[in-house]
Amino acid sequence: MDQQKATNIVKQATLVSRQDRERLHNCRSFTLWFTGLSASGKSTLACRVEKVLHDKGYPTYILDGDNVRHGLNKNLGFSPEDRQENIRRLAEVAKLFRDAGVINLTAFISPYRQERDFARSLSEDDDFIEVFVDCPVEVCEGRDPKGMYTKARQGIIKEFTGISAPYESPESPEIHLHTDSQDIEQCVEQIVRYLIEQKLIPR
Amino acid sequence: MDQQKATNIVKQATLVSRQDRERLHNCRSFTLWFTGLSASGKSTLACRVEKVLHDKGYPTYILDGDNVRHGLNKNLGFSPEDRQENIRRLAEVAKLFRDAGVINLTAFISPYRQERDFARSLSEDDDFIEVFVDCPVEVCEGRDPKGMYTKARQGIIKEFTGISAPYESPESPEIHLHTDSQDIEQCVEQIVRYLIEQKLIPR
């Protein structure tokens, strides 16, 4: 994932730093990286947490299938190579948003450990928080709000994570949620509590 | 540039909109798209304008070769296809930053009219401002701060804009600067005056 094709690039000195932006925004910037099966609750939780942080006055942004798959990554499909490039680009964009001093929340299945580790490798200190939205595939399939699992079972959607493509669970995520037994409020509270404990946002 | 490979994407309702973010940040979000030859002054001007806007209290971010070519677009070179994909991704990321309520400034040669028009096509209303950093190639070559023109003349760098690859001048940029005859202060002032006149920032 690390090849650099463009070599004629010279570093520019900028006049405004990430620290300047964080100071202006009166907050630290970080990434909440939600990972989990389809219908596990990633997007719902990201939206709810964004709302909480926005209401506290912090600059926030969600990167999800809606704005990334339809734009930046529209030329990628769901093959293993394309999935890898999808997550690589996402990780790089999340880094840009951190550098811009914006709290960002990514809501992608991101099924492979190696790719999530790559995303983490772009981060500094404690500004990358992996949120494992854990839910048994049977429960996700039972929810199936978009009819994706049905289509996957019918073979209409190929390489569907949890059905016909693997999901590698995080081994030591910063936050581990169980959306089959916790309700949304409890999950949001657990995330916000973590951010406070880590001094990423004030009490 | 418009093919959509990932079709299993369903729109999510978010709880925080661009307008909410703009209200929080107390400003409109827009893109200042700097285009011009290497050494015309794009990055210098973007940095100076960012500093002015940051000092006024607005969230800002620069997208340039430094942070984009070394990250998101590191797997792209300088062939026409790669240049096109480079600018396509840049345009999509600029759109994400607008959506995030952040004023963003892009500093890429972006030599092809079609690509800049594509970037513009992703914008809404008046939130895309093309800044033509106009400077004769002879003057740029005389400056050559990074030794790029020398290498291009020696054939060490292939497909170098203005020497061995074309630059298509903007036909009706919102802002047209002449960095061979205007100094930096005058250029910065011209840009800020435009933003005020267009009510993108207050007086």
Confidence of residue A56 (pLDDT cuts 50, 70, 90): very high
We report the CATH number of the domain holding residue A55 as 3.40.50.300
More confident residue, B151 or A5: B151
Count other Cβ atoms within 10 Å, centred on residue A41: 23
Laid out side by side, the sheet with A175-178 consists of A60-64, A103-107, A31-35, A128-134, A175-178
The answer to whether residue A8 sits within a structural domain is no
B/e letters for B38-51, b = 16+ CB within 10 Å, e = fewer, are bbbbbbbbbbbbbb
Give B-chain residues touching A48 at CB under 8 angstroms.
15
Q: What is the mean pLDDT of residues A44-56?
A: 97
State residue B119's pLDDT score. 96
State residue B65's pLDDT score. 83
Mean confidence (pLDDT) of chain A: 92
Residue B100 is given by DSSP the state: T
The answer to whether residue A11 sits within a structural domain is no
State residue A175's pLDDT score. 98
Q: What is the mean pLDDT of residues B26-48?
A: 96
Residue B13 is given by DSSP the state: P
Which residue type, as a one-letter code, is found at position B167? Answer: Y
The answer to whether residue B3 sits within a structural domain is no
The answer to whether residue B85 sits within a structural domain is yes
- Distance separating alpha carbons of residues B64 and B45, to the nearest angstrom: 12
The answer to whether residue A6 sits within a structural domain is no
Q: How does pLDDT run across B41-82, given as a tens digit for each residue?
A: 999 999 999 999 999 999 999 999 888 988 999 999 888 889
Give B-chain residues touching A14 at CB under 8 angstroms.
47, 50, 62, 66
Helix axes B42-55, A18-25, angle to 10 degrees: 20
**pTM score:** 0.93
CB contact under 8 A, B5 and A102: no
State residue B2's pLDDT score. 47
State residue A3's pLDDT score. 59
Q: How does pLDDT run across B107-118, given as a tens digit for each residue?
A: 999 999 999 999
- Distance separating alpha carbons of residues B59 and B97, to the nearest angstrom: 10
Mean confidence (pLDDT) of chain B: 92
- Distance separating alpha carbons of residues B108 and B42, to the nearest angstrom: 7
- Distance separating alpha carbons of residues B197 and A163, to the nearest angstrom: 56
- Distance separating alpha carbons of residues A125 and B183, to the nearest angstrom: 41
Number of domains present in the structure of chain A: 1
The yes-or-no verdict on residue B140 having pLDDT over 50 is: yes
First to last CA, chain A: 38
Partners of B113 in beta bridges? none
- Using CA atoms, how far residue A172 sits from A21, A114, A120, A182, in Å, is 30, 13, 12, 19
Give B-chain residues touching A150 at CB under 8 angstroms.
none
ipTM of the complex: 0.92
Domain housing B183: 28-197
Rg, chain A, Cα only: 17
Q: Which of A112, A107, A109 is nearest to A66 (CA)?
A: A107
Place of tokens 């989990």: A36
Search chain B and give the residue with CA nearest A3: B75
The answer to whether residue A7 sits within a structural domain is no
Confidence of residue A13 (pLDDT cuts 50, 70, 90): low
- Distance separating alpha carbons of residues B97 and A109, to the nearest angstrom: 23
CB contact under 8 A, B78 and A48: no
The yes-or-no verdict on residue B196 having pLDDT over 90 is: yes
The yes-or-no verdict on residue A5 having pLDDT over 80 is: no
The yes-or-no verdict on residue B8 having pLDDT over 80 is: no
Task: Give the rounded distance of the alpha carbon of B101 from its chain centre.
Answer: 17
Confidence of residue B96 (pLDDT cuts 50, 70, 90): very high
Please pick, among A110, A123, A164, A169, the residue that the annotation labels catalytic.
Answer: A110
Q: How does pLDDT run across A107-125, given as a tens digit for each residue?
A: 999 999 999 999 999 998 8
Place of tokens 């973007």: B46
Laid out side by side, the sheet with B175-178 consists of B60-64, B103-107, B31-35, B128-134, B175-178
State residue A203's pLDDT score. 85
List the structure tokens of B193: 């005056």
Search chain B and give the residue with CA nearest A17: B61
Partners of A31 in beta bridges? A104, A128
CA angle, A126 then A130 then A134, to 5°:
155
State residue B77's pLDDT score. 85
- Distance separating alpha carbons of residues B175 and A109, to the nearest angstrom: 42
Q: How does pLDDT run across A23-32, given as a tens digit for each residue?
A: 999 999 999 9
The yes-or-no verdict on residue A11 having pLDDT over 80 is: no
The yes-or-no verdict on residue A92 having pLDDT over 50 is: yes
State residue A137's pLDDT score. 97
The yes-or-no verdict on residue A7 having pLDDT over 80 is: no
Q: What is the mean pLDDT of residues B135-163?
A: 94
A110 is catalytic: yes
Find the CB nearest B5 among A9, A14, A74.
A74
The yes-or-no verdict on residue A2 having pLDDT over 50 is: no
State residue B14's pLDDT score. 78
The answer to whether residue A155 sits within a structural domain is yes
Reduced to 3 states, what is the DSSP secondary structure of residue A171? coil
Q: How far is B8 from chain A (nearest CA, A)?
A: 8
CB contact under 8 A, B24 and A77: no
- Distance separating alpha carbons of residues A189 and A175, to the nearest angstrom: 11
The answer to whether residue A145 sits within a structural domain is yes
Q: Which of B103, B65, B97 is nearest to B83 (CA)?
A: B65
